[in-house]
A and B are shown apart, each in its own frame.
Chain A
Amino acid sequence: GAVVSQHPSWVICKSGTSVKIECRSLDFQATTMFWYRQFPKQSLMLMATSNEGSKATYEQGVEKDKFLINHASLTLSTLTVTSAHPEDSSFYICSARVPGQANTEAFFGQGTRLTVV
């Protein structure tokens, strides 16, 4: 199957700083990627849909100025958590589908655990 890679796997940052998380499709081109957030022992909540070459589409309640998404190429989307606070600590996961294939599954990255101290 297709491979999606996230980097870093975990990161600890100080409150007030910004953190960038990368999501790469390694063996296919992804025009669309999805960013999810998962709180401990809870489900995945879609934050935004990242579109190559255009603005991301954010879900209701997600602050677009705080969670900056850039999808500059067909293999890379980045999520930047700006001015991070402890409540932003969470597990962030990206996914992508192989374009042009109807009914295809979504491939997930391994996730990034963010801890803000």
Chain B
Amino acid sequence: AQSVTQLGSHVSVSEGALVLLRCNYSSSVPPYLFWYVQYPNQGLQLLLKYTTGATLVKGINGFEAEFKKSETSFHLTKPSAHMSDAAEYFCAVSRTGTASKLTFGTGTRLQVTL
């Protein structure tokens, strides 16, 4: 079984400040890990993913995440927040395979203030 825990349902940062969104996972097999962003009334857009290889993954819009097996974590960071980053962020895990379903965390709403 797999599960994802996102700590903090709501995170608020100032524009230009560091963004840190936390994600911990549980998986009985090596996981594939994803971060998605969702804007209001829209579907999900992939920010980045970890499958194998380098544990520090860079994604779109300046976001990156580091897979830490020892900590079972995949935290999402961005050095400097922008107003346009305000959205809902979901961490997800899947088993290996081409048609594996995703298990999502409960989401973290990022607010960016002036």
Partner-B contacts on A (CB < 8 A): 1, 4, 6, 9-10, 31-32, 34, 41-46, 49, 91, 93, 95, 97, 99-106, 108-111, 113
Contact = CB atoms under 8 A, between A and B. Distances in A.
B67 to A, nearest CB: 14
B106 A97 contact: no
A29 to B, nearest CB: 13
Interface in B47-61: 49, 51-52
A32 B99 contact: yes
B104 A43 contact: yes
Interface residues of B, number: 25
Contacts of A44: 44, 90, 102, 104
A98 B113 CA distance: 38
A105 B97 contact: no
B104 A34 contact: no
Contacts of A103: 32, 49, 51-52, 96
Given A49-B101, A97-B99, A102-B98, A111 B43 contact: yes
Contact of A43 (B45, B51, B52, B107): B107
